[in-house]
Amino acid sequence: MDTAIEVKGLSKHYSGFSLQDISFCLPRGGIMGFIGANGAGKTTTIKALLNLINIDSGEINLLGHMRGEKEVKQKLGVVLDENNAYDNLSFNQAARVESTMRADWDDTLWQYYVKRFQLPARQKVQEYSRGMKMKLFIALALAHKPQLLLLDEPTSGLDPLMREEMLSVFTEFIQDKQHAILLSSHITSDLDKIATHVTFIHEGRLIFSRAKSDIMEDWRLTCCAKAEFDKIPQEFIFAYRNSSFGYEVLVKDSLRLAQILPQLAFNNVSIEEIMLFFVHGQRGYE
């Protein structure tokens, strides 16, 4: 019961796109940053977790239950990329529908988030800006006391102040060690701040899924000339870029590499750099 999300060998084929053999695991108490370029398969994976699509193979467990079970669905807080579900309803009507739908709806908690996110109760939901709708749906997701939050691009459309506020909300949520969050985001700086785990997928394939602390400890960026680059054993190279200034190399297991090639200088690397290196650079793992 310590695992919040367990995905094993998830595959789903469409014509033109396939999600292939995706596996990852998120313990309770963790925040997983789910990253990848547009069309990498992030939303498809989240849809598979939510049983919104049939899968061709694989196994998905959420909070110790099979996906789609009513018992686990009650414990999920979900915010998807498009938040138009209540466009034809007023703010109060939306709250009324949610409170009837959710067994664990907490009206005091709802009012708390309405106030905290400064949601305009008199305005029609349809008239909300994109960011405002996002806040509304995050408030709705939190107000029924979920254990696991599944959030698809939850900070997009929010101004920097509100984004910061949301990150605090997520951090507070995770203070209960039974809770967990899966958060897909393009804004990787958000993940640098709060993620405990990172899963990176590209073109439907899993590139890595690891604890962020491991990545930050092991992975480093180094700049060197061709002669030094040629000395770096292939197993250490995740990806590299070759420019007129020399080689920029993203290396794995940098501590061990530093013992082999002490002349190399290493810099810390951000999640965004890892993504960019992989997508735009030349890949060392192939």
Partner 1 sequence: MKSLVIKDIFMLQKAFKMILVLVAFYIVIFLLTGASAALPMVMAILAVTFPISTFSYDEANKWDRYALSGPLVREDIVRAKYLLCLLLMAVALIIGFIGLTIMNFFSATVDLSLTEILLIVSISILLGLCGQAIILPIIYKLGAEKGRMFLIAVMMIPILTIILFNRFADPELKQFFSNNLHFFPFILIILVIAGYALSYKISLRIYMGKEF
- Judged by the rule CB under 8 A, the positions of this chain that interact with partner 1 are 47, 50-54, 68, 70, 73-74, 76, 78, 80, 82, 84-90, 93, 96-98, 100-103, 150
Nearer CB in complex with partner 1: 70/122: 70
Please state the closest distance from residue 221 (CB atom) to partner 1, in A: 38
Residues 26 and 101: their CA atoms lie apart, in Å, by 27
Tokens coding 277: 């290196």
Please state the closest distance from residue 129 (CB atom) to partner 1, in A: 17
Please state the closest distance from residue 192 (CB atom) to partner 1, in A: 27
Nearer CB in complex with partner 1: 137/170: 137
Please state the closest distance from residue 225 (CB atom) to partner 1, in A: 52
Nearer CB in complex with partner 1: 180/274: 180
Nearer CB in complex with partner 1: 180/264: 180
Nearer CB in complex with partner 1: 100/263: 100
φ, ψ of residue 187 in degrees (nearest 5): -85, 85
Please state the closest distance from residue 47 (CB atom) to partner 1, in A: 7
Please state the closest distance from residue 181 (CB atom) to partner 1, in A: 15
Nearer CB in complex with partner 1: 136/274: 136
Please state the closest distance from residue 102 (CB atom) to partner 1, in A: 6
End-to-end Cα spacing for the chain: 36
Nearer CB in complex with partner 1: 87/214: 87
Pairing of strands 246-251, 220-224: antiparallel
Nearer CB in complex with partner 1: 133/197: 133
Please state the closest distance from residue 122 (CB atom) to partner 1, in A: 16
SS (H, E, C) the chain: CCEEEEEEEEEEEECCEEEEEEEEEEECCCEEEEECCCCCCHHHHHHHHCCCCCCCEEEEEECCEECCCHHHHCCEEEECCCCCCCCCCEHHHHHHHHHHHCCCCCHHHHHHHHHHCCCCCCCEHHHCCHHHHHHHHHHHHHCCCCCEEEEECCCCCCCHHHHHHHHHHHHHHCCCCCCEEEEECCCHHHHHHHCCEEEEEECCEEEEEEEHHHHHHHCEEEEECHHHHHHCCHHHEEEEEEECCEEEEEECCHHHHHHHCCCCCEECCCHHHHHHHHHHCEECCC
Whether the CB-CB separation of 61 and 216 falls below 8 Å is answered with: no
